[in-house]
Amino acid sequence: MNKFIREPMNAFTHFIGIILSIIGLILLVVKAARVGTPLDVGAVAAFGISLILLYTASTVYHSVIAGPKTIAFFRRLDHSMIYVLIAGTYVPLCLIALHGTIGWVLFWVISGLALLGVLFKLIWFHSPRWLSTLLYVLMGWVAIFYSGSLAPIIGNGGLTYLIVGGIFYTVGAIIYWLKPEFLRSRYFGFHEIFHIFILLGSIFHFLCVYLYVI
């Protein structure tokens, strides 16, 4: 901790995420407005906003210097936003790529699971680390069961970006769960590396939506 920021490297890595997410939101909305429908614009906006919310919550949590109760509040918010991002990432896949009945059903299922996930974090925040990690990963990989429906729409390129993004998120989640000490260096610990993998996952999912979904 320094005088102004509690965890400088953790805050910095996800502050970059805020900047990239704002740029990404603008690019997504502009493209969707040019080639898509109002529903498309709303879907990509939901994705972009969920990115901004996650990285903002994370940056604030790792930055704020305050009492234990305030820090605990921002930590709960930070963890809850993971469910918001998962749901936000599904929105363009459900409402633009899949659309129709199958898309709307998946949209409501994922939205419901995300809401339950947020409530779970609020009620039982100190649940076992492995349990929270498992819930994040399982929710994220539900999309794999719809790969057969997605492939004709977003192609192999889109599926590749989607899967690679999921792999980055999953590796990051495993690092978060296991907290491997061998990754620790003078400037970086496991949490900073976890943050980098989350950034990479977000970038690949953004590219999937921007290049292949819209």
Closest CA to 7 of 58, 70, 78, 45: 58
By the 10 Å C-beta count (0-12 exposed, 13-18 middle, 19+ buried), 140 is classed as buried
Residue 122: HSE in the Cβ half-sphere, 13 Å Cα cutoff: 9
Please report, as a single letter, which amino acid is at residue 125: F
CB atoms near residue 177 (< 10 Å): 19
Structure tokens at 108: 């409501």
List binding-site positions.
62, 191, 195
DSSP structure string for 167-201: HHHHHHHHHHHH--GGG--SS--HHHHHHHHHHHH
Spatial distance between the Cα atoms of 48 and 174, rounded to a whole number of angstroms = 25
Angle between helices 190-208 and 38-63 (to 10 degrees): 170
List binding-site positions for Zn(2+).
62, 191, 195
